[in-house]
Amino acid sequence: MKKITSAGNLALFFCIIVTSLWTFWGVTEMFHEGWYAPFEWMFFLLPASLSLTFALIALTWPRLGGWLLIGTGIASYAWMLVKAAINFGLNPQIILSWLPASGFLAFIGVLFLLEARRTSVTPSTAQRGRRSLRYLLAIGIPLLLGLGLASKQSIHLANRVDDGNYGTRLIPGNRVSLVWAPAGLGWGRSVTWNQVALYGLPPLGFDYKSFGHEGRCNRNTNEGCATARDMQHYNVCLYLSEDGSRLETSLQGYWRMPTTDEIVRSLVRHGENAGCIWEGQTGNQQCTVTPDKEAPLWNPNSPLIYLWSADEANRDEAYYVTYHGAVWAGSKFVGLGSRGYRCVRSPLYEPTTPAAVPFSESFALRSAVRLGRGHRIEFSQTSSQTSYTAQRQLVLNYPPCLPAFTSTWKPTIFCAIRALRPPVPAGRAPVLW
């Protein structure tokens, strides 16, 4: 019993645990984010490879390996804390989350130093046999785990649906039907929510907007973070050309950013809707089947696995949706290569010349029905407190109406009416407001 619980055996056990955890993480992430690009595989498997290397060194030379593990554990743990402090700030969750994977290495190193004190210079035949068994366990268990996980994921990926059509797609969802922008500038990645929301705010573009207004959206302050109003008025989709192929220098109003609920309800599995709904909470959402990264909503060969929505969770964060049906809130100033956006529009949209109509909420809605859903309408009104209230009320009560306001409420606004009501069944007269 003493031999089983010796310092060397305990060190080996913990090495196997750490290496196996890193193997599980590496293989999972490899297929979650990096499987599409083989050259990135080594990045995700690097922690497991380093952990196994240190374990083999410590098994061969316990003293050297012990000090190496202690130094590496302390250094890696300190590096992660410093990096987290710079990017996000420290909190108990961050401090404790890296302790098992990094700081715990120092404890394993101490166990190997204790083992070195009782290891003879010239090992006997029995000791050499036990050392060989340790090598086998240290390598074999993580290797079998990695191969098992990789085999399962490979079978899963082989069954993904990819029709190769990354153009404009009509995606019938769960009680929602939207046209999604084609690959290109209307389906982008590696941008923050601030950049998406503030694209149209002069100067036009994504540059210098990652950290919001005047760079005042970061871990220290949220005063300059983009808001839902910014997203409604300036989001990049409003500048996307009618065919979704380019971004114009003036507001177009053909496309918009999808809401969280719309993205969730549009998730797919094997070419069909996954039956998901958003219940207003973060985490995995209720779905009939688990959705996957498949066409027509996703490009299975793209790094993009998260889609920003038009909704903000709070002053600091906005919602994004994962391909497998989870909703999370992320910092508005953090951009990832795997997180982006995809513009949408109503399938009932029909381009037309803007029609000028008097500014009246009820008249505007009736005009939208008569002209056809998707028509663009310009409202004009003399500057007064009444027009200010009416304009604001229209925006708040009818989100499909997307205005292009400047920093102040102007007497003249532009609005794109989209799908204010569902399609009228055949044989039934349309209902006017």
Going by pLDDT thresholds of 50, 70 and 90, the confidence category of residue 83 is: confident
Asked whether residue 1 is domain-assigned, the answer is no
pTM of the model as a whole: 0.67
Q: H or E element: which one contains 112?
A: helix 104-118
pLDDT of residue 402: 39
How high is the mean pLDDT of the chain? 79
pLDDT of residue 255: 96
Higher local confidence (pLDDT), 8 or 414: 8
DSSP alpha helices (H): ranges in 174-332?
193-197, 228-234, 260-265
* 174 and 83 co-located in one domain: no
Is the pLDDT at 303 greater than 80? The verdict is: yes
Tokens 């809401």 belong to which residue? 259
pLDDT at 7: 86
Residue 164, domain member (yes or no): no
Give dist(CA 192, CA 210) in Å, integer: 6
Out of 123, 158, 193, pick the residue that ends a domain: 158
Per DSSP, helices labelled H in 222-340 are 228-234, 260-265
- Residue 256: inside a domain: yes
Which contacts (CB < 8 Å, 24+ apart) does range 191-194 have? Answer: 191/308, 191/335, 191/339, 191/340, 191/341, 192/332, 192/333, 192/334, 192/335, 193/226, 193/308, 193/312, 193/318, 193/320, 193/330, 193/332, 193/333, 194/225, 194/226, 194/332, 194/333
User: What mean pLDDT do residues 221-231 have?
Assistant: 95
pLDDT at 122: 58
Do 284 and 361 lie in one domain? The reply is no
For residue 171, the surrounding DSSP H or E stretch is: strand 169-172
> Where is pLDDT greater, at 161 or 362?
161
Q: Is the pLDDT of residue 118 over 90?
A: no
Tell me the pLDDT tens digit for each residue of 273-287.
999 999 999 999 999
Same domain for 204 and 56, yes or no, is no
Query: How many alpha carbons lie under 13 Å from residue 397 in its C-beta half-sphere?
Result: 9
Together in a domain, 124 and 185: no
Secondary structure (H, E, C), 370-397: HHCCCCEEEEECCCCHHHHHHHHHHHHH
Regarding whether 127 and 12 lie in a shared domain, the answer is yes
The predicted-structure confidence for 313-366, as pLDDT tens digits, reads as follows 999 999 999 999 999 999 999 998 899 999 999 887 544 333 333 333 333 443
Whether 278 and 384 share a structural domain: no
What pLDDT, on the 0 to 100 scale, is given for residue 372?
A: 37
The answer to whether residue 270 sits within a structural domain is yes
The pLDDT value given to residue 101? 67
Q: Is the pLDDT of residue 46 over 70?
A: yes
Evaluate whether residue 422 is within a structural domain. Answer: no
Is the domain of 218 the same as that of 250? yes
More confident residue, 15 or 84: 15
pLDDT for residue 57 is more than 70:
yes
Give the count of alpha carbons within 13 A of 414, CB side only.
15
Same-domain pairing of 185 and 330:
yes
Residue 432 lies in a domain: no
pLDDT at 81: 82
Which of 345, 376, 401 is the last residue in one of the domains?
A: 345
Work out the average pLDDT over 291-298.
94
Q: Tell me: the pLDDT tens digits for 166-206?
A: 999 999 999 999 999 999 999 998 999 999 999 999 999 99
Q: What is the pLDDT of residue 407?
A: 32
Whether residues 103 and 154 share a domain: the answer is yes
pLDDT (average), residues 368-396: 37
Domain end marker among 112, 131, 158: 158
Q: Residue 187: beta bridge partners?
A: 184
Same domain, 90 and 123: yes
Task: Read off the amino acid at residue 172.
Answer: P
Same structural domain, 107 and 186: no
**Domain assignment of residue 423, yes or no:** no
Contact between residue 86 and residue 94 where contact means Cβ atoms under 8 Å apart: no
Q: Could you give the percent of the chain with pLDDT greater than 70?
A: 75
> What pLDDT, on the 0 to 100 scale, is given for residue 313?
96
Q: Is the pLDDT of residue 433 over 80?
A: no
Domain that holds residue 278: 169-345
Report d(CA 106, CA 239) in Å as an integer.
54
User: For the chain, what is the domain count?
Assistant: 3
Per-residue pLDDT at 123: 63
- Same-domain pairing of 152 and 180: no
Q: Is residue 2 part of a domain?
A: no
